[in-house]
Amino acid sequence: DLHFETTAIHAGQAPDPATGAVITPLYQTSTYAQEQVGVTRGFDYSRTANPTRRSLEECLAALEGAGSYGLTFASGMAAIDTLLRLVKPGEYVVVSNDVYGGTFRLFDKVLAGYGLAFTFVDASIPAQVEHALRPETTLVWLETPTNPLLKIADIAEIARRVKSSRPGIWLAVDNTFASPYLQQPLALGADFSVYSTTKYIAGHSDVVGGAIVTRDAGAYERLKFLQNAIGAVPGPMDAWLTLRGIKTLALRMERHSSNALHIAEFLQNHPAVERVIYPGLDSHPGHAIAQRQMKMFGGMISIILKGGESAARRMTAATRLFTLAESLGGVESLIEVPAVMTHASVTGSALEIPGGLVRLSVGIEHVDDLLQDLEQALNE
Ligand SMILES: *Cc1c(COP(=O)(O)O)cnc(C)c1O
């Protein structure tokens, strides 16, 4: 029963039995010598299993409590795609209507063409999720906080309503924005925690990856089969980098969250800003739920500028520390305009994002330097 910080450093990462190496070795190999035909030491081919990847999978599982299983993938999208193979043609998926643009694209432009049906609802209202359930529904897909509107869905309340409607319906939560340090979906009643480990888990903007964590042994076996059958697995180097990042996840999330809260409060009082969206502010409609289900409020802030898209373009060109780039969750601060960058694929759909919305991924630099950078960029 170790604490999160200790688990992140030790779970799945005992010193290497062959050499005593304290850090999990990078097993950069595709195949493994067999003593006789079929006699292996547990590894035969790296698509199926690799020791470095296994360490990462064990660590991610341990971070969500005893009895959890972890699987990792080549990207967050590969993890989501593999999970969706649990849903068969003719079945329904209820989805929160403000999901990551790439998730929306996969559901709407790819999987819908294979006979899966998607119903989009405002999951910040649990009754909307419940009312959208049909006899053919097998999966409910939530993201909280969402990207980029930072809406909050009440995981425990939705789990209760979904499971009392029909216990067999799965609940998956994309927990990328919170990370397992700030939010534990499985403990709140979800069946699957899904991650783009590219973001906070790896945390250094140097690797793309994904993960699924579950306590459902049957679903785990099926997903493990699918992971090998489909083959969208991370390479050993990517697994190694992610393991390295995970060791400091708790420290980083604390600093991301405290920096972001300071910055959100500053921006709230700036005359160029129409609205600040941050779950840590009293003004956020999901603040009370976030306070209950999250440890802190995370490093993501969205702001709506009074001057619309042209103001957003000017501000993001004027920051010096906040780098204009897609992605999030790294130690360095990033800034972007979702409507024309990360969320361009939802333009024209119900998920369209206002042009004046600027998304900040607040890093772990000194907060005073970040505040000064935003102030000079907004004053331009
Ligand atoms: C980035 C992201 C994804 C996709 O992950 P990739 O690693 O880019 O494939 C999925 N969900 C959320 C919330 C994300 O931010």
Give the number of other CB atoms < 10 A from CB of residue 131: 14
303: nearest Cα among 284, 289, 320? 284
Q: Residue 20's pLDDT is what?
A: 96
Residue 368 has pLDDT above 70, yes or no: yes
DSSP readout, 270-284?
Answer: -TTEEEEE-TTSTTS
pLDDT at 136 over 70: yes
Q: 81: Cβ below 6 Å to ligand 1? A: no
- Tell me the per-residue pLDDT of 11-25, one tens digit each, with 9 for 90 and over: 999 999 999 999 999
**pLDDT tens column, 100-131:** 989 999 999 999 999 999 999 999 999 999 99
Q: Give the model's pLDDT for residue 350.
A: 65
Is the per-residue pLDDT at 342 higher than 80? Answer: no
Element (H, E) at 113: none
Q: What is the number of helices (H) and of strands (E) in the chain? A: 13, 12
**Of 209, 227, 210, nearest to 219 (Cα)?**
227
Q: Map residue 11 onto helix, strand or coil.
A: coil
Query: 81, 98, 174, 373: which one is catalytic?
Result: 174
Q: Is 189 left (phi over 0), alpha (psi -120 to 50) or beta?
A: left
One-letter amino acid of 160: R
**Candidate of 96, 182, 199, 241 to mutate for ligand 1, largest count of ligand atoms within 8 Å of Cβ:** 199
Minimum CA distance residue for ligand 1 atom 4: 76
User: Contact at 8 Å (CB) between 179 and 201?
Assistant: yes
- Contact 220/69 with Cβ under 8 angstroms? yes
Locate tokens 């403000």: which residue?
98
Question: How much distance in Å is there from the Cα of 78 to the middle of ligand 1?
Answer: 10
- Distance between CA atoms of 117 and 136, rounded to whole angstroms? 9
Report the sign of the C-alpha dihedral through residues 329, 335, 337, 342, in that order. negative
Average pLDDT value over all residues in the chain: 96
pLDDT tens string 153-162: 999 999 999 9
CB 151 within 8 A of CB 123: yes
Q: In which residue are the tokens 């102030």 written?
A: 375
Q: At what angle do helices 249-268 and 367-379 cross, to 10 degrees?
A: 40
Catalytic residue of the set 53, 54, 199, 255: 199
Question: Looking at residues 308-312, what average pLDDT do you find?
Answer: 94
Catalytic residue among 47, 247, 275, 314: 47
Least confidently predicted of 9-13, 95-99, 297-301: 95-99
Tokens representing 50 are 């690799």
The helix or strand, by DSSP H or E, that contains position 138, with its residue range, turns out to be strand 137-143
**47 is a catalytic site residue:** yes
Contact (CB, 8 A) for 143 and 194: no
pTM equals 0.96
Residues 359, 336: contact at Cβ < 8 Å? yes
Burial tier of 114 (Cβ tally within 10 Å: 0-12, 13-18, 19+): exposed
Of 268, 260, 243, 292, give the one whose Cα is nearest residue 144. Answer: 292
pLDDT tens-digit readout, 259-285: 999 999 999 999 999 999 999 999 999
Pairing of strands 300-305, 273-277: antiparallel
DSSP one-letter code for 111: G
Per-residue confidence at 47, pLDDT binned at 50, 70, 90?
Answer: very high
Stretch 232-254: mean pLDDT, rounded? Answer: 98
Phi and psi of 130, rounded to 5°? -60, -45
- State whether the beta carbon of 196 lies less than 6 angstroms from ligand 1: yes
Here the tokens at position 211 are 């993960």
Amino acid identity, position 40: T
Query: Quick check: CB of 198 below 6 Å from ligand 1?
Result: yes
